[in-house]
Amino acid sequence: MPDVLISVPQLADLVGDERVALVDCRFVLGQPEAGRDAYLEAHIPGAAYAHLETTLSGPPATDHGRHPLPAPARLRAVFGELGITAGVRVVAYDDSYGMVAARLWWMLRYMGHADVAVLDGGWQAWAAAGLAVQAGMQTPDLQVFNGEPQTHRLVQIDAVETCAMLIDAREPARFRGEVEPIDPVPGHIPGAHNLCWRDNLAADGCFHSAPTLRERFERVLGTLPDGAATHYCGSGVSACHNVLAQVAAGLPEPRLYCGSWSEWCRVMIDTGPGR
């Protein structure tokens, strides 16, 4: 299985390789053009740009969360526009330590493209290394992407209550319902555990080692998660960071409930808390 994380030195050796597609996923919640503006100012040479709300989200198909998963036909078109096709290794990065880049990582795997990694440490690590950057918009050569959905990776709302292990990636205060800055209802899905995505990271912004990640999962969950574990968050973005961390820990790849709390809590409003 290809490595799911790539270091700055490893990526530096791949820049300019026509078999590698780089994708910049920088995005700031509440400032939807900030990530694109930062990309236009400077990015890793050859990287295309993917916007969380217009590229990595789409009209509702499998869910009605705040960042809906695009339909398969839309995903094929998006990935082709990003220069991705069979035989191409993809490296995604952002400036939020992999939180948004992990969304692209998961979407590609969902569509059957396993050769994708996230830059460990992200844009900050690349910039700190003093490596080359490029300005302006890059438009990759259009490719044909023929992937098919791997539906076992995705959980939809009607199956959530049957999940044996639900893991919420949001900050603890949001999980506990003490604060809710975005969604209309505070709290979490009944029975869920809380593993905040930020705790996957060491002080330098890189992922913890595989043994440390495994220890963290076991300490919080009381066991190691398996492939049946289901991760969610507020809108199906930061949960992908936990999915990535579970795989980086050498554990089976879990599932994603993409609709997440933003979908679940709205159903609660419509149907009542007994849903």
Residues belonging to the active site: 233
Q: Which residue has the tokens 């939809």?
A: 156
DSSP string, 227-239: TT-EEE-SSSSHH
Contact call for residues 232 and 240 (beta carbons, < 8 A): no
- Give residue for tokens 């979908």: 263
164 — phi, psi (to 5°)? -70, -35
Q: Which residues contact 162 (CB under 8 A, 6 or more apart)?
A: none
Residue 164 · residue 227 · CB < 8 Å: no
Q: Are 88 and 61 in contact (CB under 8 A)?
A: no
The backbone region for 97, taken as left when phi is positive above 0, alpha when psi lies in -120 to 50, beta otherwise, is: left
Q: Are 26 and 38 in contact (CB under 8 A)?
A: yes
